[in-house]
Amino acid sequence: MAEVPGESLGSRIRVCMFDQYGTVVDMQTGLTEAVTPYLKAKGWTGRPDRFVTWWRRTHFENSMIDALLHRAHTPYREIGERAVAYTLERAGIPFTMDEVRALVSEIERLRPFPDVPEALARLKTRYRIVVLSNGDPDMLEAARAHHGIPFDEVISVAVANAFKPHVATYTRAAEILGVAMEDVLFVANHAFDCIGAKAAGMHTAFVDRRKVPFGITPYQPDIVVPDMKSLADLMV
């Protein structure tokens, strides 16, 4: 389960750093609830959850392309609007850009997974708890009122001019916090994010809510847990 037991790792860690979208907040459920009435009003008879999956996959692909281009960093919101517009067009749904912007803004209102608030409150008694997110700074600030987690710091990858898993995002976050890479436990529900953080020099915890294989990679997580409560049980 864990390459390094949580009790042993806990003595080395000063910061627990979290991905926000899909790790702290329930992106799939929240966006599915948001798009369902919109898609119904458009007369679309497909599954809203599959629409959201298309949206998220397209967004991820576009953000990775943006990072690999090594040009000016494109805001997360703009990437999201491109992804939603493409997904609507692919589904044959007529739309306006105002509708696209409204759907993307739902990301700011996402709620945390049920186990997250208590688990992070426990972790906060021992570690600094921090977000490192692909989201734009203003989106992350607006989200605070909806997720309610009192993070010690919320860092957007905009400060590194690249999307995760670019190494610059993790190293810049550690610099901002004034800690060494090995002082950080990076926590994510996404293998790509754990791989990026581990390759950059952080310890990692994979929250395997979806019960999927992590995959073959030299950058295996230090800890694998089924939910955030289990992480807190190991680390506190």
Does 104 share its domain with 147?
no
Does 78 share its domain with 161?
no
Burial class (CB in 10 A: 0-12, 13-18, 19+), 115: middle
Is residue 20 within 8 Å of residue 27, measured between CB atoms?
A: no
- Judge whether residue 1 has pLDDT over 60: no
Rounded CA gap, 88 and 91, in Å?
A: 5
- Tens-place pLDDT, residues 80-91: 999 999 999 999
Q: Which pLDDT score, from 0 to 100, does residue 5 have?
A: 54
Q: Which pLDDT score, from 0 to 100, does residue 2 have?
A: 41
Range of the domain at 10: 6-26+111-235
Q: What percent of the chain has pLDDT over 70?
A: 97
- Tens-place pLDDT, residues 181-229: 999 999 999 999 999 999 999 999 999 999 999 999 999 999 999 999 9
Q: Which pLDDT score, from 0 to 100, does residue 3 have?
A: 46
Does 12 share its domain with 33?
no
Q: Is 19 labeled as catalytic in the residue annotation?
A: yes
pLDDT band with cut points at 50, 70 and 90 for residue 6: low
Average pLDDT, the chain: 95
Rounded CA gap, 120 and 53, in Å?
A: 27
Domain termination residue (choose one: 81, 109, 137) = 109
- Note whether residue 1 is domain-resident: no
Does 44 share its domain with 88?
yes
19, 66, 136, 193: the active-site residue: 19
- Judge whether residue 24 has pLDDT over 90: yes
Q: Which pLDDT score, from 0 to 100, does residue 11 have?
A: 85
Rounded CA gap, 183 and 201, in Å?
A: 9
Does 115 share its domain with 215?
yes
> Mean of the pLDDT values across residues 9-31?
96
Does 122 share its domain with 54?
no
- Note whether residue 174 is domain-resident: yes
Domain CATH for 46: 1.10.150.240
- Tens-place pLDDT, residues 136-150: 999 999 999 999 999
Contacts of 102 (CB under 8 A, 6+ apart): none
Domain termination residue (choose one: 109, 128, 144) = 109
- Note whether residue 157 is domain-resident: yes
Q: Which pLDDT score, from 0 to 100, does residue 57 have?
A: 97
Domain CATH for 221: 3.40.50.1000
- Judge whether residue 135 has pLDDT over 80: yes
Domain termination residue (choose one: 76, 109, 142) = 109
Q: Which pLDDT score, from 0 to 100, does residue 7 have?
A: 62
